[in-house]
Amino acid sequence: MSVEVNGLHFSYGRIKALDGIDIKLPRGAIGLLGPNGAGKSTLLRILLGFLIPQQGTGRVLGYNIKNQQQSIRRYVGYMPEDDCLIPGIDAVSFTSYMGELSGMPRQEAMKRAHEVLYYVGLEESRYRRLETYSSGMRQRLKLAQAIVHDPKLIFLDEPTSGLDPQGRTEILELIMDISSKKNIQVLISSHILSDIEAACAYVVILNKGKLAAEGKVSDLKEIEYSLYELRVHDEAPDFFQKLKDIDCRVEEMEDRLVKVYMPPRVSPQRIFEIAAQDGVQIRHFVKSQTSLEDLFAKVVGVD
Ligand SMILES: Nc1ncnc2c1ncn2[C@@H]1O[C@H](COP(=O)(O)OP(=O)(O)OP(=O)(O)O)[C@@H](O)[C@H]1O
Ligand SMILES: [Mg+2]
């Protein structure tokens, strides 16, 4: 088990970023998918011990996220979403410095810095100052510093962000190579389904701080969600909330038209039962089928 968390809650002041997350991740390449603001980066920062959750527990490679952060930093690499580069120095100095911060002796860090810069294709530019780097080079350098200390697991937060299609493919290929040939487990966050599909066999989908779905990509894509379109007579916020409580996804369209995505284990009869309990009148009710891919698109806003 590479990562396990139970009952994680995290708020930035009054903003709730994670609202009760339970996950157990198997070995291998894992995708962490979710739209903007879903809580992906917050989850990664908690797993690294940078943020302490208000509630809940977690382990990364068996180390406790609350009091074994030092071991986590030794064995886990991190490619942050934001620019973490230091202007005024070159890639070799930066990468070896990051290696030292993870606990490597200076000479070894320097040797490894040259190796990983070569590996990500930056050997020609390794003595250039970082502020002259293009977006694609910056992403490669961020990837290099994440693996300089030979971690067992790496967290990559939106590694394809800011890249053109070719740059995106190249960085994903590097990540797949790291995952398969270097025997490093990877956890990649993205809001783009195709990135995750290309590189990962297992996916966790977050939405609004909650777990929306989890499983093998192949299995999840097989699941047929039932889509019901209905029209309600009056405003019915409590009714919608009750549907969400039984894991339906509710999308309010205009003119009191509502789309309800139901997971397979919930019977459509429940919609009527809940409506009856709440005294909500349903005027129009149509069923259609949708695949999880469609649901991804709705939840995640795939481009
Ligand atoms: N430092 C902060 N202070 C206050 N609120 C924050 C802070 N960082 C994140 N949030 C809020 O927490 C929620 C989750 O944010 P988070 O950055 O974890 O999402 P994300 O899934 O990584 O999104 P994105 O795809 O945009 O990177 C959002 O509502 C965000 O506005
Ligand atoms: Mg983020």
Q: Taking all residues of the chain, what is their mean pLDDT, rounded to a whole number?
A: 89
Q: 3-219 adopts what CATH topology?
A: Rossmann fold (3.40.50)
pTM value is 0.79
pLDDT at 89: 95
CB hemisphere CA count around 243 (13 angstroms): 30
pLDDT band at 302 (very low <50, low <70, confident <90, very high): very low
For residues 147 and 256, the model is more confident at: 147
Query: Which residues neighbour 192 within 8 Å (Cβ) at sequence distance 6 or greater?
Result: 160, 302, 303
Distance in Å, CA 42 to ligand 2 centroid: 7
CA of 39 to the centre of ligand 2 (A): 7
Q: Count Cα neighbours of 71 within 13 Å in the Cβ-side half-sphere.
A: 10
**pLDDT of amino acid 291:** 59
Taking the centre of ligand 2 as the mean of its atom positions, its distance from the CA of residue 40, in whole angstroms, is 5
pLDDT band at residue 289, thresholds of 50, 70 and 90? low
Domain parsing of the chain, residue ranges: 3-219, 223-300
Q: What is the pLDDT of residues 270-280, one digit of tens each?
A: 888 999 998 88
Mutate to test the pocket of ligand 1, among 11, 14, 15, 51 (most ligand atoms within 8 A of CB): 15
**What is the arithmetic mean of pLDDT over 282-298?**
70
Distance CA 129, CA 89 (A): 5
Which residues contact ligand 1 via a Cβ below 6 A? Answer: 12, 15, 17, 34, 36-42, 81, 191
Q: Which residue has the higher pLDDT, 164 or 263?
A: 164
Residues with CB under 5 A from ligand 2 (ion): 40-41, 81
**In angstroms, what CA-CA distances link 91 with 85, 157, 167?**
9, 20, 19
| Domain over 223-300 is classified CATH 3.30.70.100 | yes
CA dihedral in degrees (210, 211, 212, 216; nearest 10)?
160
